[in-house]
Structure 1
Amino acid sequence: MNSDVLNQVFMLFLMILVGIYASKMGYIDKKLNVGLSNLLLKITLPLLVINSFLTIKFSKSVLTSAENILLYALIIHVVLIIFSKLAYTKVTDSKKGVSKFLTVFSNSGFMGYPVLKSIYGAKGVFYCAIFGIILNLFMFSYGIMVLKNSKDNSFKELKRAVINPAIIATIIGFILFIFNVKLTTLVISTISSIGSMTSPLSMIIVGIMLADINIGDLFKDKLVYMLTVVKLLIVPAITFVVLKLLNADQIVIGVIVVLEAMPAASNAAVMSLQYGSDENVALKHIFITTVLSIVVIPLVIKLVV
């Protein structure tokens, strides 16, 4: 099991190196990288979300499990949002939004599926897909609002955020799941193939962004150290305590704690670039947490699974 997890983390790290190489060699410039970011956020990621629902077979027991996961995921995200508001009161305004985003959202979408599949099989994939509903709803509404540092017209910003490709894809996927809609093999294969581009594309984009950063600066930013401790240690601990207090099933505790122990969401760098936040903080945090997750994820799995 641990070897599968390690292989997955190493693979994502190598994809980042591919992006760094592509940028250093001049194959991709900043303008093209913005286009790749739009491709990821508006096409490949939404299709990845839809594809996750196409792999689930509908049943009453599955629906009950889905309802429980939705509730627990909702509670966890609300708790983490409150925690992030309290934790970063002294952080400068320019970095406060991205700090909150990095704390609340993990790389559960890209890394969660293969890691949980290696632990729980099909049931783990199902739980990850359901958890992703809440994660996407919060990420592309609350997440966009904090990255844009919106203080005025918050309701207007929320409405704009909700009309988002990833959230629309979540709604479409849930409708397909609830009504057990059958799509043709051609359509399913197309959705699956394009959606599978999301993880490598996301990591390559991050690598392209990292190419312009001085490696020495990665280890000089005190905020990044604080965010790393919070993301890899404090957030999983909070998640574990909350789920225990809610008397959640052991498998549910294992799944959600493992998902929250994932590195920082790779979308953070892409979305920070899109919405005018400090992408340098996001890039440093993604790089460091991805490297450290090689040790942290197997340890968390050993403790809670």
Structure 2
Amino acid sequence: MGGSNGLFYGSAYNSIYGLFIWTHGFLLYSGKTDKKSIMKAMLNPNIIASIIGLLLYCFSISLPSPIYLSVKYISQLNTALSMIVIGTTMTQISFSNLFTDLFSWIGVAMRNLVFPFALLFLLYALGVRGELLLCSLIPTACPVAGFSVLFSKLTGKDVVFPCKVMTLSTLASLITIPLILQAANFL
């Protein structure tokens, strides 16, 4: 299998992940489960863009160059803007108590170790091997996503705890990602 298969598998994983994040994840953060909130979650711009992207892919439709470039530039801007929001939020964390918060470390252990290892053993037990296994495992082993910080800000919740978990998870991933990939190679 070539690298393009890995890209396809990774894109499929991220698409499903994005659908769950912007629907179920956002509803969990907001704490609202009424019909209006569910419809708002289902019709948010991220879900609509995912559906349009899927349709363009399935029907091999190419966007005209000006529209393609506009979408490309906006997508690049979105990543930078979210990192700016997360970075400014991280300034609220006291460095002295960043490493001493037990609950943050529990979140990091669950995200960086327990969940990836559980997925690794489940997929291996189901007979998934090679590129498909790695393409499912690598995003799972990555640090806590910035969504936790962004959703906290969007819903008016405390941002310090998700910032701590995201920061510690990112630092810990320097050790945990190679560890999980080594375990996958060992199996």
TM-score, normalised to structure 1's length? Answer: 0.56
- Shift, 1:304, TM fit: 2.1
Contact persistence 2:92–2:160 (CA under 8 A): no
Question: Structure 1 residues 192, 122: closer, same or farther in 2, change over 3 A?
Answer: farther
**1:146 aligns to what?**
28
Inter-partner Cα distance in structure 1 for 2:101 and 2:60:
49
Larger RCO (CA within 8 A; separation ≥ 6) = 1
Please list the CA deviations of residues 80-138 of structure 1 after superposition, one character each: whole Å capped at 9, or x if unmatched. xxxxxxxxxxxxxxxxxxxxxxxxxxxxxxxxxxxxxxxx7333222221112211111
Whether 1:125 aligns to 2:7 is yes
- Shift, 1:214, TM fit: 1.2
- Shift, 1:189, TM fit: 2.3
Question: Structure 1 residues 156, 247: closer, same or farther in 2, change over 3 A?
Answer: farther
3-state SS of the aligned residue for 2:98? Answer: helix
**1:272 aligns to what?**
152
Inter-partner Cα distance in structure 1 for 2:174 and 2:116:
16
**1:19 aligns to what?**
none
Whether 1:228 aligns to 2:126 is no
**Residue segments in structure 2 that go unaligned for 5+ positions in a row:** none
Question: Structure 1 residues 302, 241: closer, same or farther in 2, change over 3 A?
Answer: closer
**2:143 aligns to what?**
263
Contact persistence 1:147–1:276 (CA under 8 A): no
Inter-partner Cα distance in structure 1 for 2:157 and 2:5:
36
Q: Which runs of 4+ in 1 moved over 4 A?
A: none
- Shift, 1:211, TM fit: 1.0
- Shift, 1:303, TM fit: 2.9
Q: 2:117 aligns with which of 237, 242, 250?
A: 237
The within-5 A match list for 1:153-302 is: 153=34, 155-302=35-182
Contact persistence 2:6–2:132 (CA under 8 A): no
Inter-partner Cα distance in structure 1 for 2:6 and 2:82:
23
Contact persistence 1:202–1:267 (CA under 8 A): no
Question: How many correspondences in the alignment?
Answer: 184
3-state SS of the aligned residue for 1:197? Answer: helix
Question: Structure 1 residues 143, 206: closer, same or farther in 2, change over 3 A?
Answer: same
- Shift, 1:296, TM fit: 1.9
Contact persistence 2:144–2:166 (CA under 8 A): yes
3-state SS of the aligned residue for 2:143? Answer: coil
Question: Structure 1 residues 301, 201: closer, same or farther in 2, change over 3 A?
Answer: farther
Please list the CA deviations of residues 2-44 of structure 1 after superposition, one character each: whole Å capped at 9, or x if unmatched. xxxxxxxxxxxxxxxxxxxxxxxxxxxxxxxxxxxxxxxxxxx
Inter-partner Cα distance in structure 2 for 1:290 and 1:197:
22
Residue identity matched to 2:31: N
Residue identity matched to 1:296: T
- Shift, 1:247, TM fit: 2.2
Aligned-residue RMSD, C-alpha: 1.8
Residue identity matched to 2:4: A
- Shift, 1:207, TM fit: 1.1
Question: Structure 1 residues 244, 172: closer, same or farther in 2, change over 3 A?
Answer: same
- Shift, 1:164, TM fit: 0.8
